[in-house]
């Protein structure tokens, strides 16, 4: 473990590199847009009836200063990094002058709550079924369950969610299919509110779990069927160690390490999956926010959300990578 | 190559059924070239006709024949998938083989870029591209953007094989006989990784077509070209399910599931073919 600090430092450098490349890419992609955010907002203000040319010109000047669009693109770039470092993402254009960070913070808990819970359930379920199916190869019930999960996994998520909505929203309408909570409820913390939120999260979570479990299952089953041919497992079986115990302490434990790395990747992918889920189910998280920002042409909000997702993903992968040598001493830190 | 396919079809039920499903899809695509209607023509036929002997799968609220539109849309979607898979395979092959063979600093730089691409969230980035490009977001642009996002995972896979190829005696022999690096990679190492490339092509197509459908359904692509996602987009825009024109939604959903099943079965059986251990398992060895 002597070289652990070196590994940590190198890995941290890689984390910074990923963040740097990602955020620079988003900055240049958005700043080379043919849309002028200032003209867009002026346009929307004019549509509301404000048309005195002098007032509009004044507004244009103050907006330009506020949005940090002055100077060359390199100055804007440096300025952007400077502000980002202090956590300031500027004002939102569509909900002017509310800061982008305030708007994002309002939506973030919904996304994190829904996605982490469903990702963890998917991970646990897929690994348990996968380990069992890999060890008890002859069991018909396990075979059937695995087949169902595996067959669901390649269907495009949108199609899958759509079918669920038809089933539970129209054919057998027992679950709410839209939103994160009932409209017009009092958003004070109460038991009724918590139950309501849970009820609204069942369908989006279910869709994520059903689609996602298959890939964990396939991975775990393959790992387990490789490990059962290893000598130490054969010896344990010949030596009469209980089957349950072999599966739990000899096989599953060793198969878990690559799966944990995969967990990091999928926690990172939260920001990928969340957009579609939230659109389909009208869930009030950052995915929905991103789409409405795109439709409103809200430049700074789109930029802020992209920056956040890149930092979030890179950080998740970094943390799991750094922790895995501590969990499993067999991983070499070189 | 043909012996491999024949053997696979004979021994492997998954491969055979995947191949048959894929044949159905290819059949539909061939048929699409004989479509009596233009791909973007609308209001040609009586709208909202349920499936019958004249309109096999009914007509849409925009006056199009669902069957012919489906065939054209499937063709565009599949060509899109093949385009993305082809371009990104080239990138992943070059990066994977060079990184694995060269090692050292070249490997570290390439893998740092590779890992960055791997973790950057793709969906927000694709939406960002649409946001920026708006009307200039054509299908060829989208193919290039998707291809530049979809190579990193497979490049790592190819690299791991290339590293082991490098230590084999035949590589050393080629080096001593004075072959250039480019020649070694193309003539000696490439044949070894091609079976893997074939299996990842299927996975890449599953990924890119899934993304296309999702982006199109949300209206984030060029909405005039008919594709599978576009059909659902227009059906949604006319609230087909609530209006009772269910065949407009059911037809593309069914074909999409069929397409994915075919690609998935093919990729699964190819993977198995590539992994000798699971081949032994199947034969009961």
3-state secondary structure B208-268: HHHHHHHHHHCCCCCCCCCCHHHHHHHHHHCCHHHHCCHHHHHHHHHHHHHHHHHHHHHHH
Contact A290 B256 (CB under 8 A): no
**Portion 225-244 of A in contact with B at CB < 8 A:** 225-226, 229
Q: Which residue of B has its CA nearest to A17?
A: B116
Residues B4-43 pLDDT 10s: 777 777 777 888 888 888 899 899 888 888 877 777 777 7
Q: Is B269 exposed, middle or buried (0-12, 13-18, 19+ CB in 10 A)?
A: buried
How high is the pLDDT of residue B284? 53
Q: Tens-digit pLDDT profile for chain B (285 aa)?
A: 677 777 777 777 888 888 888 899 899 888 888 877 777 777 777 777 777 777 777 787 777 888 888 899 999 999 999 999 999 999 999 999 999 888 888 888 888 888 878 777 787 788 878 877 777 778 888 999 999 988 988 898 889 888 888 888 888 888 888 888 888 888 888 888 888 888 788 889 988 998 888 888 888 887 778 888 888 888 888 877 777 778 888 888 888 888 888 888 888 787 777 766 666 665 554
Is A310 in CB contact (< 8 Å) with chain B? yes
Residue B114's nearest CA partner among B144, B143, B85, B92 is B92
* CB nearest A30 (choices: B119, B128, B281): B128
Q: Give the lowest-confidence range in A87-101, A153-167, A211-225.
A: A87-101
Is A163 in CB contact (< 8 Å) with chain B? yes
Contact B124 A29 (CB under 8 A): no
- CB atoms under 10 Å from CB of A11, counted, come to 15
Q: Give the lowest-confidence range in A131-145, A167-181, A258-272.
A: A258-272
How high is the pLDDT of residue A178? 74
Do residues A324 and A257 make contact, with C-beta atoms less than 8 angstroms apart? Answer: yes
pLDDT at A50 over 60: no
Token pair in block for residue A272: 């990928």
Contact B123 A170 (CB under 8 A): no
Residue A310's nearest CA partner among A268, A279, A274 is A268
Token pair in block for residue B268: 């699964």
Residues B192-221 pLDDT 10s: 888 888 878 888 998 899 888 888 888 888
Contact A225 B260 (CB under 8 A): no
Contacts for A277 with CB less than 8 Å, ≥ 6 apart:
A114, A157, A161, A204, A207, A208, A283, A287
Specify the 3-state DSSP secondary structure of B105: helix
CA atoms within 13 A on the CB side of B115: 20
Q: Is B264 exposed, middle or buried (0-12, 13-18, 19+ CB in 10 A)?
A: buried
pLDDT at A176 over 50: yes
Residues A27-39 pLDDT 10s: 877 777 666 666 7
One-letter-per-residue 3-state SS of A220-243 = HHHHHHHHCCCHHHHHHHHCCCCH
Do residues B115 and A321 make contact, with C-beta atoms less than 8 angstroms apart? Answer: no
How high is the pLDDT of residue A334? 45
A243: distance to nearest CA of chain B, Å? 21
CA angle A39/A45/A49 to nearest 5° reads 135
B180: distance to nearest CA of chain A, Å? 30
Token pair in block for residue A221: 């089953």
Residue A197's nearest CA partner among A182, A177, A183, A207 is A182
- A299-327 vs A253-268: helix axis angle to the nearest 10? 170
More confident: A217 or A225: A217
CA angle B133/B218/A207 to nearest 5° reads 135
Contact B213 A25 (CB under 8 A): no
Terminal-residue alpha carbon distance, chain A = 10
Q: Is B161 exposed, middle or buried (0-12, 13-18, 19+ CB in 10 A)?
A: middle
Mutate to test the interface with A, among B17, B109, B121 (most CBs of A within 10 A): B121
Contacts for A53 with CB less than 8 Å, ≥ 6 apart:
none
More confident: A310 or A1: A310
- Residue A184: left if φ>0, alpha if ψ -120 to 50, beta else—which one? left
Token pair in block for residue B106: 């070249």
Q: Give the lowest-confidence range in A197-211, A257-271, A304-318.
A: A257-271
Token pair in block for residue A204: 């989006």
């Amino acid at each position: 473990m002597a070289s652990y600090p070196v590994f940590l430092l190198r890995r941290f450098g890689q984390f910074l590199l990923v963040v740097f490349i990602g955020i620079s890419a988003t900055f240049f992609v958005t700043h080379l847009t043919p849309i002028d955010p200032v003209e867009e907002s002026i346009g929307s203000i004019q549509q509301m009836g404000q048309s005195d040319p002098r007032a509009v010109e004044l507004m244009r000047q103050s907006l330009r200063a506020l949005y940090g669009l002055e100077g060359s693109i390199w100055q804007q770039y440096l300025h952007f990094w400077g502000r980002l470092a202090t956590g300031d993402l500027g004002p939102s254009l569509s909900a002017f002058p509310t800061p982008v960070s305030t708007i994002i913070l309002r939506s973030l808990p919904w996304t994190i709550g829904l996605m982490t819970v469903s990702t963890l359930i998917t991970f646990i379920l897929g690994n348990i079924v996968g380990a069992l199916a890999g060890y008890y190869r002859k069991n018909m019930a396990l075979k059937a369950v695995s087949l169902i999960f595996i067959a669901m996994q390649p269907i495009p998520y949108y199609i899958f969610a759509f079918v669920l909505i038809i089933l539970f929203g129209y054919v057998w309408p027992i679950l709410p299919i839209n939103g994160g909570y009932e409209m017009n409820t009092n958003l004070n913390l109460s038991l009724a509110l918590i139950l309501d939120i849970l009820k609204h999260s069942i369908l989006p979570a279910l869709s994520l779990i059903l689609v996602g479990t298959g890939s964990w299952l396939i991975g775990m089953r393959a790992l387990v069927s490789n490990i059962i041919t290893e000598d130490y497992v054969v010896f344990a079986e010949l030596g009469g160690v209980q089957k349950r115990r072999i599966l739990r302490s000899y096989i599953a434990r060793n198969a878990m390490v690559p799966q944990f790395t995969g967990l990091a990747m999928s926690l990172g992918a939260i920001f990928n999956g969340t957009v579609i889920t939230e659109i389909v189910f009208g869930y009030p998280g950052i995915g929905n926010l991103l789409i409405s920002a795109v439709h409103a042409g809200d430049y700074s909000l789109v930029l802020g959300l992209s920056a956040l997702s890149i930092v979030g993903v890179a950080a998740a992968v970094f943390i799991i990578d750094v922790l895995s040598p501590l969990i499993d001493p067999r991983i070499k830190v070189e | 190559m043909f012996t491999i396919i024949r053997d696979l079809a004979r021994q492997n039920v998954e491969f055979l059924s995947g191949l048959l499903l894929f044949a159905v899809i290819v059949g539909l695509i061939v048929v699409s070239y004989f479509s009596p209607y233009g791909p973007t023509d609308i209001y040609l036929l009586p709208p909202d006709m349920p499936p019958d002997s004249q309109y096999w799968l009914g007509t849409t609220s925009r006056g199009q024949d669902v069957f012919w539109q489906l065939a054209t849309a499937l063709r565009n979607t599949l060509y899109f998938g093949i385009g993305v898979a082809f371009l990104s395979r080239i990138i992943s092959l070059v990066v994977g083989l060079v990184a694995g063979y060269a090692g050292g600093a070249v490997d570290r730089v390439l893998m740092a870029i590779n890992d960055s691409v791997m973790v950057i969230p793709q969906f927000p980035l694709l939406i960002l591209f649409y946001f920026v490009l708006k009307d200039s977001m054509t299908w060829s642009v989208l193919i290039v953007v998707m291809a530049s996002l979809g190579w990193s995972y497979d490049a790592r896979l190819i690299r791991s094989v290339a590293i082991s190829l490098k230590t084999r005696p035949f590589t050393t022999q080629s080096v001593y006989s004075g072959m250039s690096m480019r020649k070694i990679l193309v003539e000696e190492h490439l044949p070894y990784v091609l079976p893997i490339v074939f299996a990842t092509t299927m996975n890449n197509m599953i990924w890119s077509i899934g993304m296309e459908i999702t982006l199109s359904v949300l209206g984030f692509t060029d909405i005039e070209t008919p594709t599978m996602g576009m059909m659902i987009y227009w059906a949604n825009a006319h609230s087909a399910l609530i209006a009772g024109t269910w065949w407009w939604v059911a037809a593309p959903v069914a074909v999409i599931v069929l397409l994915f099943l075919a690609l998935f079965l093919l990729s699964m059986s190819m993977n198995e073919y590539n992994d000798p251990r699971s081949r032994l398992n199947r034969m009961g060895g």
